Amino acid sequence: MPHQEFAPGLQVQGFTPPLRLSQFKLIAFDMDSTLINIECVDEIADAVGLKEEVAAITEAAMRGEITDYKESLRRRVALLRGVTVADMELIYTSRLELNPGAEALVKACKAAGLKTLLVSGGFTFFTDRIRDRLGIDFTRSNVLEIESGPNCGQLTGRMVDQPWGDICDGAEKRKMLLETCSQLGISPKQAIAVGDGANDLPMMGEAGLSVAYHAKPRVREHAMVAINQGGLDRLLEVIRS
């Protein structure tokens, strides 16, 4: 079914707006280029002069041209060796911004009683701060390994395995969405999933409402709502409180 233009820069398919927020109990967000304005791994790479190289891999992964997301992330993280925690702190304070409408959408969802989930192929250094800033209920993302000893405070170029697995990729995002729904005692059809890249498609496919935000063409094609212009809070034009 093709998208219909609901309003300028806002397309829908598979349902007739408006829906009501009260129909849903959970909203899940990707972070990089969805809740926030940057791809963190690309900006970290800038600290060692490799942004262009890393960004090219990121872009291919987000378009779905790289089938092994985990391997693509390992390749990118390996190039980050030697970046310091101070470098990452500077990225957070000087480059990272919430995308327009992010705070308004999260606030509206929380006011309507929805729980919030942040699932990211990015890193806990940033997701923990966004979690605290927005009051997100649940998160899952990757941990960058940091040197101890003489090079204390520098990245090793590796990630740390976690109790749930090694890397938060598309399959892990889907798994976390389903686990959170089970924990809350709700159906995945009572969840909304918002993302922009190919690794968001598995969780978007499980959710009752899938939302593409300024997304890659493949993601827009599969989403029930495509926000192509304006902020995240444009979702509130098709789903009312």
* Pair of tokens at residue 118: 């942040």
Under the phi-then-psi rule, with left for phi > 0, alpha for psi from -120 to 50, and beta for the rest, what region is 125?
A: alpha
Sign of the alpha-carbon dihedral angle for 53, 64, 121, 224: positive
- Exposed, middle or buried, 230 (CB in 10 Å: 0-12/13-18/19+)? middle
Is 32 tagged catalytic?
yes
Q: Of the residues 32, 169, 200, 233, which is catalytic?
A: 32
Q: Of the residues 30, 87, 196, 233, which is catalytic?
A: 30
Contact predicate 199/69, CB 8 Å? yes
Is 30 tagged catalytic?
yes
Residue 25 DSSP code = S
* Pair of tokens at residue 111: 């006011």
Q: CA torsion angle for 215, 61, 134, 157 (degrees, to 10)?
A: -160
Give the C-alpha separation, 174 to 201, whole Å: 8
Give the active site residues.
30, 32
